[in-house]
């Protein structure tokens, strides 16, 4: 389950489809099936196409509400208006801030905790900590939400910072599970060698463990980003100041008022979802492998 398994899914043709290969010979592709699947991709692409095409329409054209007509003329007035109405720079930076906290925290804190648990597995306390953190995976957020609103307000963390911290904590169980499983597959000679050379635990972690852990830490980080960037529930409940809301929450405003200014709302939706899709495009091999490792291994 080291780097090699990163390649085990979603990458290239060299990845096994050995059975079909054995049956069909090397260059024979199943054309009807390819066509069926290509048609199925429309289920994903059409809503995205509608979003993009609506976003670039003029107000007059958008009012017609025709989803499949192409924008003519191409107009960015929706973006300009959405930018203003959502106070985009501030909202965007709030979202970036929350996600940055969540990603940095998820990667660092989960790695450190996972290493400590891994290295002290035979101690009761660390073993207990592992299952304690894991148990939280069974706690649905709605169960905690009302008490969290109270507590976060009480200590003054009803802010983007508070949401970032909660995101880290909500993902902790799953991330520690991923990372400890990963560490278990690591040869312990690596760590011993560092010890013999006189490295402290701190140095061992940064110079040996963390670099070895990095493929899995990348997975953890990407999922932390996607989860945090897209989350609506927690920021909408925890953040008390409407001026400090994140992108998904702010977009709610198009639901009530301005309901026929579709070009503005879709421009805003596009600006909210684009960063996640862009990150996905650049990191898809980790996203694709991360799900499977998380759910299947262990």
Partner 1 sequence: MSLTSPEAPAATPPAGLRPTPKRRPDKTHLFFLLPTLIAFTLCIALPAVMGIFFSFTNSVGYGEWDFVGLANYELMFTDPAIMASFWFTIWFSAVTVIATNLIAFLLAVGLTAQIRARVPMRAIFVIPMVVSPIIIAFVFQFLFAKTLPTAAQAVGFGPLEDSILANPNLAWLSIVIVTAWQAVPGAMLIYIAGLLAIPGDLYEASALDGAGPWKQMKMITIPLMASYIVINVILTFKGFLNAYDIIIGLTDGGPGTSTRSVAMTIFSGFETGDYAYQMATATIFFLITLAIAVVQLRLMRRKDQ
Among 80, 150, 197, 207, indicate the residue that binds partner 1 (CB under 8 A).
150
Asked if 273 is part of the footprint of partner 1 (rule: CB under 8 A), the reply reads yes
Q: How far is the CB of 72 from partner 1 (least distance, A)?
A: 18
Q: How far is the CB of 15 from partner 1 (least distance, A)?
A: 7
By CB under 8 A, which span of 81-89, 96-104, 172-180, 210-218 interacts with partner 1? Answer: 172-180
Among 1, 161, 190, 291, indicate the residue that binds partner 1 (CB under 8 A).
291
What's the chain look like in SS3? CCHHHHCCCCCCCCCCCHHHHHHHCCCCCCHHHHHHHHHHCHHHHHHHHHHHHHHCCCHHHHHCCCCCCCCCCCCCHHHHHHHHHCCHHHHHHHHHHHHHHHHHHHHHHHHHHHHHHHHCCCCHHHHHHHHHHHHHHHCCHHHHHHHHHHHHHHCCCCCHHHHHHHHHHHHHHHHHHHHHHHHHCCCCHHHHHHHHCCCCHHHHHHHHHHHHHHHHHHHHHHHHHHHHHHCCHHHHHHCCCHHHCCHHHHCCHHHHCCCCCHHHHHHHHHHHHHHHHHHHHHHHHHHHHHHHHHHHCC
Asked if 241 is part of the footprint of partner 1 (rule: CB under 8 A), the reply reads no
Asked if 144 is part of the footprint of partner 1 (rule: CB under 8 A), the reply reads yes
Asked if 61 is part of the footprint of partner 1 (rule: CB under 8 A), the reply reads no
Among 56, 79, 115, 182, indicate the residue that binds partner 1 (CB under 8 A).
115
Asked if 279 is part of the footprint of partner 1 (rule: CB under 8 A), the reply reads yes
Q: How far is the CB of 176 from partner 1 (least distance, A)?
A: 9
Among 166, 179, 213, 220, indicate the residue that binds partner 1 (CB under 8 A).
166
Asked if 60 is part of the footprint of partner 1 (rule: CB under 8 A), the reply reads no
Q: How far is the CB of 230 from partner 1 (least distance, A)?
A: 4
Among 103, 248, 263, 267, indicate the residue that binds partner 1 (CB under 8 A).
248
Asked if 79 is part of the footprint of partner 1 (rule: CB under 8 A), the reply reads no
Binders of partner 1 in range 186-205 (CB under 8 A): 188, 192, 195-196, 200-202, 205
By CB under 8 A, which span of 76-84, 85-93, 96-104, 285-293 interacts with partner 1? Answer: 285-293
Find the Cα–Cα–Cα–Cα dihedral 113, 114, 118, 124, rounded to 10°.
50
Q: How far is the CB of 189 from partner 1 (least distance, A)?
A: 9
């Amino acid at each position: 389950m080291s780097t090699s398994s990163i390649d085990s899914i979603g990458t290239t043709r060299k990845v096994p489809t050995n059975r079909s290969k054995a049956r069909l010979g090397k260059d024979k592709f199943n054309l009807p099936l390819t066509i069926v699947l290509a048609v199925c991709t429309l289920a994903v692409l059409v809503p995205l196409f509608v979003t993009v095409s609506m976003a670039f329409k003029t107000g007059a054209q958008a009012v017609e509400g025709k989803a499949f007509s192409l924008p003519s003329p191409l107009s960015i007035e929706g973006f300009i208006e959405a930018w203003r109405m959502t106070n985009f720079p501030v909202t965007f930076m709030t979202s970036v801030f929350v996600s940055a906290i969540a990603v940095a925290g998820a990667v660092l804190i989960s790695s450190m905790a996972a290493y400590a648990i891994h290295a002290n597995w035979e101690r009761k306390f660390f073993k207990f900590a592992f299952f304690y953190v894991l148990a939280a995976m069974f706690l649905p957020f709605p169960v905690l939400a009302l008490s969290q609103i109270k507590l976060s307000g009480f200590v003054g963390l009803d802010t983007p910072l508070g949401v970032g911290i909660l995101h880290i904590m909500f993902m902790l169980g799953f991330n520690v599970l991923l990372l400890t499983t990963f560490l278990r597959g690591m040869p312990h000679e690596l760590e011993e060698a560092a010890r013999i050379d006189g490295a402290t635990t701190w140095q061992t972690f940064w110079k040996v463990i963390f670099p070895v852990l990095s493929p899995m830490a990348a997975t953890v980080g990407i999922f932390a980003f996607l989860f945090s960037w897209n989350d609506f529930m927690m920021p909408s409940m925890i953040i008390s100041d409407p001026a400090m809301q994140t992108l998904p929450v702010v977009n709610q405003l198009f639901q009530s008022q301005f309901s026929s200014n579709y070009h503005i709302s879709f421009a805003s939706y596009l600006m909210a979802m684009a960063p996640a899709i862009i990150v996905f495009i650049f990191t898809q091999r980790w996203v694709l492998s991360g799900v499977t490792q998380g759910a299947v291994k262990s």
